[in-house]
Amino acid sequence: MERIVIEGGVPLQGTVRVNGAKNSALPILAASLLSQSRCRLSNVPDLRDVKTMGRLLSGLGVGISKISPDTWNLDPTEITGFEAPYDVVRTMRASVLVLGPLITRFGRADVSLPGGCAIGARPINLHLMGLEKLGASLRIEKGYICASSKRLEGTRIYLDLPTVTGTMNLMMAATLARGTSLIENAACEPEVSELADALCKMGARIEGAGTDRIEIEGVD
């Protein structure tokens, strides 16, 4: 049997570059849709899913330019589309993270279900439940989540399971809702905290990210 043997007691020194995490980059890229001004994201990992998210955002009208291999400029000031098509979503389930930002900023979104017409093994029912509690009108039509709303209203949302993408989607939706939202039994993973940090730098008001109770005070 192969094994690795480590003998300790030797001082370590040197520098290690820590690459950006895909699971943090994807939601933060989607969060650019919430902004009314340009954003810059650095230490973006050069991975296929990240490129797919860039393609999805470009299709919605986000202007994307790279000033270095790992630094992206994003311009969401002229959004022209509101659909996340199946051919993109089927290759990357994280594409559903554009649902919350689109519905809260623009009042409409058409996002393919990750499994097409079938909800599949990793359902997004908790995303939909939370958005309905915030005031969104939802219907499933030909494999798409068709969402519409005037301004969302802050509310209390209890998640039956601490879903990571569900927590992030609802946290983004709540940033522009009127009033205060509370997400209970929220996911506590580091990428939730990193998304909250990015949102707060953009002007959101979020407390408790990284715990199972996240409070979001909606802003204009």
Contacts (Cβ under 8 Å, ≥6 apart) of 116:
86, 90, 143
- Residues involved in catalysis: 117
Residue 147 — left, alpha, or beta (φ > 0 → left; ψ -120 to 50 → alpha)? beta
As a whole number of angstroms, the distance between CA 130 and CA 181 comes to: 10
Largest CA distance in the chain: 62
Which structure tokens are listed for 130?
């939370």
φ/ψ (deg, to 5) at 25? -65, -40
3-state helix, strand, coil in the chain (%, to 5): 35, 25, 40
Chain-centre distance for alpha carbon 67: 23
Q: Contact 131/147 with Cβ under 8 angstroms?
A: yes
Which structure tokens are listed for 189?
């993973």
